[in-house]
Every structure is written in C-alpha cells, then in structure tokens.
Amino acid sequence: MTDKPTSGKSKIKQIESVVNHALETTDLEIVLIEYKREGQEWVLRVYIDHPDGVTLDHCEKATYLVADALEADDPVQAEYRIEVSSPGVDRPLVKHADYQRFVNERVFIKTHKALNGIKNYTGTLLACDETAVRLHNEHDGREHEIPFDMIAKATLKPVLKF
C-alpha cells in the first residue's frame, strides 16, 4: 500500500457518518468504530450489537452494507481492510446509554490521569448521571465517582465461570 489515508478525529467522524447511514435501516447497533494502522495496512473495524446477540449473518450483512456505502462515499480515499464483529464479552462502553444499560455489571475503567491516586478501576457499576459514573472498586472496597471527561477507556469485565 502506498497511499496513506488521512487519520484523525475528523476522519473518524466522516467514517461514522457513512457507516451510521449504511446501517440505519437495520436493527444493529454500532458500538464502536476504529480506524487505525496495524502493521503495513489500515484497518476499519466496526463493532456491532443486536438485541438477540450478534450472529455471523449479522456481521456478514453489516460488512456488505458498510463496504457498499464506503464504495459510494469513501472519506478515506485509500486502501484499508474492513472488519465487522461483535464487541465481545469485554464490550467497550462508549456512549452514555452504554453506562446506563450496564448498571450493576462488573466493569473496568481507566482514567486519563489518577483520581485520588487511582487510575485503573475494576468493580460494579452502581450508577451514572449526565456527568459521572459511580462504581464500587474491588481493589479498595470503596465507592468512587468518576467524571465522564476523565474516562480514557471503559469495558465490561464479566466474571467468566467455567
């Protein structure tokens, strides 16, 4: 690949607009869109969810819809690989609605910088409002309030029993 696609937040917003439009008539939820270089190639990764769980058919359908939409209106203008998948058991929490949906679930939250000496939290998500989440941290046994603007990354962290 010789073309270097433009990256950055504005490029992601343009990609999100095309992908959202491509999937708006389906019952699929877009969880997260990533566009990044991996090795020698660029990858556009779309994580989707469905009320009944994501199947291979959902991923295949979404891949075709996204590829067709990007063929018609491609903000990237370079070569890249498209991947569509479920968010997995460690689903990222991105939107405010994600946090509301997963109250009382076990989560991992990493902050941009330490709050009261802590940067990584694992515990039960207790509540969320417009500005922050509250969780019970397993490591110190205390409740912590974490402002949304301090959250660098958040994912579900379920306890898997075999």
The CATH class given to the 9-85 domain equals alpha beta
Residue 6 confidence (pLDDT) above 70: no
Alpha-carbon separation of residue 83 from 20, 49, 67, 93 (angstroms): 15, 14, 10, 19
Domain ranges of the chain: 9-85, 96-156
- The residue length of the chain stands at 162
Same fold, 9-85 and 96-156: no
> Is residue 64 scored above 60 in pLDDT?
yes
Kindly state the percentage of the chain with pLDDT values over 90. Answer: 79
* Confidence check: pLDDT of 140 > 60: yes
Q: Is the pLDDT of residue 3 over 50?
A: no
Percent of the chain with pLDDT over 70: 95
Mean pLDDT, the chain, whole residue set: 91
Burial tier of 83 (Cβ tally within 10 Å: 0-12, 13-18, 19+) = middle
Closest by CA position to 122, among listed 77, 72, 156: 156
Task: Give the list of residues 6+ apart from residue 126 with CB closer than 8 angstroms, or none.
Answer: 103, 104, 134, 135, 136, 143
How would residue 117 be classed by pLDDT, with cut points 50, 70 and 90?
Answer: very high
pLDDT of amino acid 1: 34
* Burial readout 118-138 (b: 16 or more C-beta within 10 A, e: otherwise): eeebbbbbeebeeebbebbbe
Mean pLDDT computed over 16-27: 93
| pLDDT score recorded for residue 78 | 79
Q: Taking 80 as the threshold, does the pLDDT of residue 160 lie above it?
A: yes
Q: What mean pLDDT do residues 120-145 have?
A: 97
Confidence bin at 52 (pLDDT 50/70/90)? very high
Query: Is the domain defined by 96-156 classed in CATH 2.30.30.180?
Result: yes
pLDDT (0 to 100) of residue 2:
36
- pLDDT at residue 4 tops 70: no
Cβ(147)–Cβ(129) under 8 Å? no
Kindly indicate the confidence band of residue 8, based on its pLDDT and cuts at 50, 70 and 90: low
